[in-house]
Amino acid sequence: MPELPEVEVVKLFLEQKLLHKTITKLEILTPKSFVGNPEFIEGQKIIKFSRIGKQLSIYLSNKLILLVHLKMTGQLIYDGYVLGHPTKDAFSSLPSKSTRLIFTFDDKSKLYFNDQRKFGWIKLFNQAELVEAQSNLGLDIFNPDFSPKYIFDQLSKSRRPIKIILLDQHYFAGIGNIYANDALFLSGIHPKTPSNKITLKQAKLIHKYLIEIMRQSVLAGGSTARDNKYIRPDGTSGQNQFFFRTYERKGEPCLKCGTKIEYLKLGGRGTFFCPQCQKL
Ligand SMILES: [Zn+2]
């Protein structure tokens, strides 16, 4: 599944290509993939893009907002570029059998929303509904209010392992599995540490490394893990996987001390750590 840096890359790309374009038509091929009345979209100009966690918002000139969630297999295709989940047929003729929605713009260009497994969606909201829909999300890492104190306060609410809480969207929006693993490694914190045992000093480290890793990943065009769930707009893999510190490195030597990276499952998610550098 695309994580925060990948969705940020998608946002930056669409901003470049679609800002100030007017949507002239929306074709709904799969009703499940779109929630809202398409009549409220047609004739509207795109005035802004924003993102919280893995959710992308497209602001329209009539003050309505399209909220996009790609989920497991969603992809946006525009101008020969594929954003999100890669599939073999991504570059075949469009629309394909996975095409769910087609947006047409005033310059006749088209944005395709493809989704093999149909878990992704685009929903139309007004401002109040959007606030309500996102009220259960923690702060986004790139939000200016995302601070060491915020991390500390959120973590102090739970005794569950820190790795599980970092991934919980109610506490923090958009920290994916790759980034939680590596931020804990760089901070020298064992993934099973009870959240409320984390000190403010440790929260400062988590903050520093999370932001560092996320920025690096956005610059590298996102990560393509072994599940191949994400490719960059030009169809090539993201390059960030070459910076993974622990993620998918089970049995390989720790980059700090050479000890073999260990693996365990926490809350059903693959967890990688150095037993030497990250003591419980
Ligand atoms: Zn180590």
- 202-260 pLDDT per residue, tens: 999 999 999 998 888 887 776 655 555 555 566 566 655 557 889 889 999 999 999 99
Active-site residue, from 3, 86, 161, 191:
3
Cα distances from 280 to residues 27, 49, 237, in angstroms, run: 54, 42, 35
Ligand 1 centre distance from Cα of residue 3 (Å): 26
pLDDT of residue 2: 72
Respond yes or no: is residue 191 known to be catalytic. Answer: no
Q: Collect all residues with Cβ–Cβ distance below 8 Å to 113 and sequence separation of at least 6.
A: 33, 68, 74, 75, 76, 99, 100, 101, 102, 103, 120, 122
Segment 46-54 mean pLDDT:
94
Q: How open is the CA angle 247-249-251, to the nearest 5 degrees?
A: 140
Segment 57-82 mean pLDDT:
91
Ligand 1 centre distance from Cα of residue 254 (Å): 5
Token digits of residue 257 = 């001390």
pLDDT of 88 above 60: no
Beta bridge partners of 66: 58, 124
Q: How far apart are CA 110 and CA 87, in angstroms?
A: 19
Respond yes or no: is residue 54 known to be catalytic. Answer: yes
Which pTM was predicted? Answer: 0.82
Beta bridge partners of 46: 60
Ligand 1 centre distance from Cα of residue 184 (Å): 12
Respond yes or no: is residue 15 known to be catalytic. Answer: no
Burial 60-91 (b: 16+ CB within 10 A, else e): beeebbbbbbbbbbbbbbbeebbbbbbbeebe
Cα distances from 1 to residues 6, 60, 69, 76, in angstroms, run: 9, 27, 11, 14
Respond yes or no: is residue 159 known to be catalytic. Answer: no
Ligand 1 centre distance from Cα of residue 222 (Å): 25
Residue 181 confidence class, pLDDT cut points 50, 70, 90 = very high
Ligand 1 centre distance from Cα of residue 257 (Å): 4
